Structure 1
Amino acid sequence: MERAAPGAIVTLKDVAAASGVSISTASRALDERSASRSAAAAHVRKVAEELGYRRNSFASSLRRGETRTLGVLVPRLSDTVMALMFEELERAASSRGYFAMVATSGDDPGDERRAAETLLDRNVDGLILATARLDDELPRLLRERNVVHALVLRTDGVSPSALGDDEVGGYLAVRHLIDLGHRDIAVVTGPSFTSTGTARLAGARKALGEAGITPRDGWLIAAGYGIEDGFSAGESLLGPDSRPSAVFAANDNIAMGIMAAAHRRNVRIGEDLALVGYNDTPLASRLPTPLTSVHVHLDQIARTAIDLIIDPGQEPRVRKSMPTLIPRESSGPPKARD
């Protein structure tokens, strides 16, 4: 079967005729929402490909009152986790016949609302928010306007949310250090205005409490999620007088900042200081001392978020993916001290 001549438009009628089926049957076979596996549908798709047929998904979606487009709002794409999250959301959306577009908002609530309106002005079928503040009013405003939306990597406890179980992750990280024999454990968590920061700290406190460990004053530090925040926390914790034997850092950026502070003070990670991060970003395993980290299954979270958007009435509205601890060289037993 020959492809149409250059410039010729192959219509659905042409595909149906060449396939020996009705136009409605050809349409159903080529509808990305149905993805029928029948032999007849496979034959129609093969004929369409050979003819060079290109389905106008945008036009058909408009006829259904849809654009098959989702808006994704992130604080910034320079953040590794946010960039990875968007890639997974884009992949998950594509597998369901949707296109994902991203907008960045920074940390200002006003900028976030303006970015959301920009996406809504493009008639997206739903919004996915990866912005982090617990006091963020945007989810409430979207609920009041009946805008289909879902939160990823965090939750306000009300809007549909897909995230990792951060409390379990914090628990796994600190329990790992305790099982290695550490009792002098510090925790550098994320900002208190984030659900991730508060949940990971709650998990860490639970593990410490079970072991009968009371952290020293100054060993529970709320910081930002940047490398510079980790460096500042490391400078505070690794002073000459007393320091912990182990640190749980609530994300890998914080852990890398602590590594830099440790290097400056000639403290050897994995020998003088055990260190556990969070998120298991690609760089974690490639550092000079590979970083033990809590792996967050972003692919599962992305698929769940897309499901919540496509079927917004389903329960439960808050869905958590179980994290996994990945042990590496940065965590080790406490070094004997003179």
Structure 2
Amino acid sequence: MEPAASGASVTLRDVAAASGVSLSTASRALDERGPVSRSAAAQHVRKIAEELGYRRNSFASSLRRGETRTLGVLVPRLSDTVMALMFEELERAASDRGYFAMVATSGDDPEDERRAAETLLDRNVDGLILATARLDDDLPRLLRKRGVTHALVLRTDGVSPSAIGDDEVGGYLAVRHLLDLGHRHIAVVTGPSFTSSGVGRLAGARRAFDEAGINPRQEWLIAAGYGIENGFTAGEALLGGGSGKRPTAVFAANDNIALGIIAAAHRFGITVGKELALVGYNDTPLSARLSTPLSSVRVPLAQIAGTAIDLIVNPGKEPHIRKSMPTLIPRESSGAPRRA
């Protein structure tokens, strides 16, 4: 069969006629929103459509149904490995459900966040997924008030539908691991105090300390940003005390912070994994590839992404928060035995 001439517009009616089927049968065979039909007729229609150069106008058909099959995703920044990985998983999960995901970045400023959200809403997205929520953030409340379909991911305000890791369990696992290795002088560098993830991971660390009967030194509990430079600054404060006592172990509330602490330890001639035990969080791909592989708490990003998309496309009657369970991955940075 000859393909359509250059510039010609092949319609669904053309495909149906060339396939010898009804218009409705051709439409069902080419509908990408549900499971792909494997029937001989459907495969024949798809083969003819490809030969003719037919391109389904999913945007127009979605508009006729009052939807765009597009979701907006708002992240603080894509230079953050976790946020980039999270968006990739959200994009994949959206595609599996017949949706397209587009991303916008906002930094950590609430005004920038609101502007970015409005930009996505101006594109007529069917819902918003926010990885930017602050505990003091007004945006989720405004979205609820306006009736905008949305879900929070990785962070929660405790009210809007949310798909998150269980940060308190993760913080507990990290510090419990260090305690089980015999450490008693443990520092914790948490994420920002305006994030539920930072607050939750610190709460889990405190629970582990309480179980062990340990009252951590206040100057060893540092709230920082989630960047490498934040970890380096915290590492300098913890490890550069001269004759003062320094911690023998550190729980860093994400892997970027841990990388900064590694850099600070190197500056002071401290060997991570021998003189200093270190546990990170999120188990980003680089963690296992460092010269001293980093112990880290693994978060099931794919599961969280799928849950977030489902909260958008199949919203329940009541807002709810779904937590996915993290897992500790011990490696050499905490003094765990080298794996074969």
Could you tell me which residue of structure 1 aligns to residue 33 of structure 2? 33
Aligned residues of 1:75 and 1:107 also touching (Cα < 8 A):
yes
Cα distance in 1 for partners of 2:33, 2:192 equals 41
Matches within 5 A, 1:94-133: 94-133=95-134
1:316-338 Cα offsets, whole Å, 9 max, x none, are 721111112111110117xxxxx
The within-5 A match list for 1:143-154 is: 143-154=144-155
Task: Quote the residue 1:74 is aligned against.
Answer: 75
**How far 1:311 moved relative to its partner?**
1.4
Show CA shifts across 1:48-70 (max 9, x none).
Answer: 22332210001101111111111
Q: Secondary structure at the match of 1:266?
A: coil
TM superposition shift of 1:156: 1.0
The equivalent residue for 2:301 is 298
Deviation at 1:283? 1.7
Secondary structure, aligned partner of 1:200 = helix
- The residue aligned with 1:250 is 253
Q: CA RMSD in A?
A: 1.8
Give SS of 1:175's match. helix
Q: State the partner residue of 1:215.
A: 216
Q: Taking structure 1 as reference, are residues 59 and 284 closer, same or farther at Cα in structure 2, changes over 3 Å only?
A: same
Secondary structure of 2:279's aligned partner: strand
Match of 1:13 in 2: 13
Distance (whole Å) between structure 2 residues aligned to residue 83 and residue 36 of structure 1:
29
Deviation per CA, 1:235-279, whole angstroms, max 9, x where unpaired?
A: 222123211111100011111111111111111000001000011
Structure 1 residues 101-160: Cα deviation after superposition (integer angstroms, max 9, x where no partner): 111112221111111111111111111111131110000000000001111111111111
Q: Quote the Cα distance in structure 2 between the aligned partners of 1:17 and 1:91.
A: 34
Q: CA deviation at 1:98?
A: 1.6
Cα pair 1:113 1:138 within 8 Å, conserved = yes
Higher deviation after alignment, 269-278 or 319-328: 319-328
Distance 1:7 1:299 in 2: 41
Rounded to whole Å, the distance in 2 between the matches of 1:260 and 1:274 is 14
1:25–1:198 distance in 2 versus 1, CA, 3 Å? same
Runs of 5+ unmatched residues, structure 2? none
Q: Distance in 2 between matches of 1:65 and 1:57?
A: 12
In structure 1, how many angstroms separate the alpha carbons of the residues matched to 2:34 and 2:294?
Answer: 43
Q: Which residue of 1 aligns with 2:156?
A: 155
Please state whether the residue corresponding to 2:332 is helix, strand or coil: coil
TM-score by length of 2: 0.93
Matched residues in 1 for 2:12 and 2:171: separation?
Answer: 54
| 1:36–1:217 Cα change, 3 Å | closer
Q: Runs (4+) of structure 1 moved beyond 4 Å?
A: none
Does the Cα contact within 8 Å between 2:134 and 2:156 map onto a contact in 1? no
User: Quick one: which of 269, 275, 283 aligns to 1:272?
Assistant: 275
Q: Which moved more, 1:216-225 or 1:196-205?
A: 216-225
Q: Name the structure 1 match of 2:3.
A: 3
Aligned partner letter, 2:311: L
Q: Any unmatched runs of 5+ in structure 1?
A: 334-338
Q: Distance in 2 between matches of 1:332 and 1:316?
A: 42
- Deviations along 1:55-88, whole A, 9 cap, x unmatched? 0001101111111111111111221111111122
How far does residue 204 in structure 1 lie from its aligned partner after superposition?
A: 0.9
2:124 maps to amino acid: N
Report deviation, 1:310. Answer: 0.7
TM-score of the aligned structures, taking structure 1 as reference length: 0.94
The answer on whether the counterparts of 1:29 and 1:35 sit within 8 Å (CA) in structure 2 is no
One-letter amino acid matched to 2:207:
K
**Match in the other structure for 2:85:** 84
1:314 CA displacement: 5.8
Structure 2 counterpart of 1:288, from 271, 288, 291 = 291
Secondary structure of 2:333's counterpart equals coil
Aligned counterparts of 1:21 and 1:331: Cα–Cα separation in 2: 65
Q: Is the 8 A contact 2:307 2:322 kept in 1?
A: yes
TM-aligned CA distance change 1:200 to 1:154, over 3 Å = same
Q: How far apart in 1 are the matches of 2:130 and 2:116?
A: 11
Provide the rounded CA distance (Å) in 2 between the counterparts of 1:256 and 1:281: 11
Q: 1:330 aligns to what SS in structure 2?
A: helix
Cα distance change of structure 1 residues 145 and 132 upon mapping to structure 2, 3 Å threshold: closer
Distance 1:177 1:306 in 2: 35
CA–CA distance in 1 between the matches of 2:25 and 2:3?
Answer: 21
